[in-house]
Structure 1
Amino acid sequence: MVAYAALGAADGTAAVQDALLDSDRPLDPPTRELLAVPPERGATTGVAVTFFVLAGFFGLLGLRALLPRDDGGSSETAYRVGYHYGALLVAAVLLGIGLTVHSDHRSRRRDTADQWPHDHGQWQKLQRVWRETWLCRHCRVAFLPAAAVRPEAAAASCVPITQFPQWTAALARQGAGRPGPPVGR
């Protein structure tokens, strides 16, 4: 890998993950999207997690409000109901929104059930191929150097950036992503 790093300085090649993080020579948004880390299937979206955390927070506040306590002598029924159950109502609404977002995400994933990877092990193989792939900025191609993933693996041919997501999935499916001893690191 050291030889590739020295080569990268001369001809504009870099590991895909390094090219995405390079602030001196940022990639354009469409290229960044094509080269982005493949998402793990089955993971809950950040939006849904945010709603679940907020629902939990308001649920705890609601439970705290249910504890016996002096409410200042207020006799207004609406105030007492709002004080005791308002946070629980907000928690229920947030939980419902979070479940809706999560369900929508799952149904979209089901619509793309033919896409690979299907499980965490396959995703790890895809992740490994992605980590070891290099990018040539000048040629706008990606490639996998010889022995990058396994010592006996030959170099993969160059592929245009537009075909990068499908190419990495195909390599991982073929077994190029099988775990082996780390090479050059």
Structure 2
Amino acid sequence: MTVTCPTCAAADETITVRKALLDPDHPFDPPTQELLSMPPEPRGTAGAAITLFVLAGLFGLMGLPTLFTDADGGGGSSDAAYQAGYHYGASLIAAILLGIGLIVHSHHRRRRSETANQWPQTYDQWQQLHRVWRATWLCRRCRVAFLPAASLRPDFAASSAIPVTQFPQWTLTIARQDDDPGAPITSD
């Protein structure tokens, strides 16, 4: 597919943003690379919290058989601390890991709610943004980004060129236009 730049009307320096970021022959400086990069996918639960929940479950399962045994742990000891550790140790570790996991999870949710005005918040919104990002083209000569005609859907009109410095806000605006993605971009 040959796409011409809306600014210079040339096609020799136009490339999709995704391919431009992966092109080793024309690397971008770090600030431009960051502007053109896709935002990370939003997550529901922090990986650390999930790991702690799994470990808590494993320790809880390991501790179940010892809760129901009446033996002294096979060591022949009648020490009360040893008996308590043998019967309740794995369950105590599971409870501690579960508590830490809940704290990590609540901290992660609080951080997400503090940034509630940021978009995308859900995976579906992120996919919508990703679809716009993949369809966007870049002119290396003019350092502008644009969407060609029919890039998002068959009746989508070509967008005007925007400077790379406005790329993140522009892609968010295009992606958030749920009802009519081909409508002119308006500032909020």
Superposed pair shares fold, TM > 0.5:
yes
Q: 5 Å matches for 1:61-72?
A: 61-68=62-69, 71-72=73-74
* One-letter amino acid of the counterpart of residue 87, structure 2: H
Distance, in Å, in 1 between the alignment partners of 2:41 and 2:118 is: 12
Q: Within the alignment, does 1:58 sit opposite 2:59 as a pair?
A: yes
Corresponding residue SS for 2:63: helix
* Alpha-carbon shift at residue 148 of structure 1 (Å): 1.4
**What is the percentage of aligned positions where both structures have the same residue?**
58
* Alpha-carbon shift at residue 150 of structure 1 (Å): 0.7
Match of 1:130 in 2: 133
Q: Any conservation in 2 of the 1:74–1:80 contact (CA below 8 Å)?
A: no
Q: Within the alignment, does 1:169 sit opposite 2:172 as a pair?
A: yes
Q: Any conservation in 1 of the 2:17–2:36 contact (CA below 8 Å)?
A: no
Corresponding residue SS for 1:157: coil
Q: 1:97 to 1:131 in 2, by over 3 A?
A: farther
Distance, in Å, in 1 between the alignment partners of 2:51 and 2:108 is: 14
Match of 1:74 in 2: 76
Q: Any conservation in 1 of the 2:137–2:145 contact (CA below 8 Å)?
A: yes
- Which one has the bigger helix percentage? 1
* Alpha-carbon shift at residue 74 of structure 1 (Å): 3.1
Q: 1:72 to 1:167 in 2, by over 3 A?
A: same
Distance, in Å, in 1 between the alignment partners of 2:108 and 2:165 is: 25
Distance, in Å, in 1 between the alignment partners of 2:86 and 2:124 is: 48
Corresponding residue SS for 2:64: helix
Distance, in Å, in 2 between the alignment partners of 1:23 and 1:172 is: 25
Q: 5 Å matches for 1:31-110?
A: 31=32, 33-41=34-42, 43-68=44-69, 71-75=73-77, 76-110=79-113
Q: 1:63 to 1:123 in 2, by over 3 A?
A: same
Cα RMSD after superposing both structures: 3.4
Q: 1:19 to 1:53 in 2, by over 3 A?
A: farther
Q: Any conservation in 2 of the 1:171–1:177 contact (CA below 8 Å)?
A: no
**Matched residues, number:** 170
Distance, in Å, in 1 between the alignment partners of 2:176 and 2:157 is: 16
**TM-score between the two structures when normalised by the length of structure 2:** 0.67
Instruction: Say which is worse superposed, 62-71 or 81-90, in terms of deviation.
Output: 62-71
Give unpaired runs (5+ residues) of structure 2. 4-11, 182-188
Distance, in Å, in 2 between the alignment partners of 1:139 and 1:55 is: 55
- Choose which of 143, 164, 170 in structure 1 pairs with 2:146: 143
Q: 1:90 to 1:121 in 2, by over 3 A?
A: same
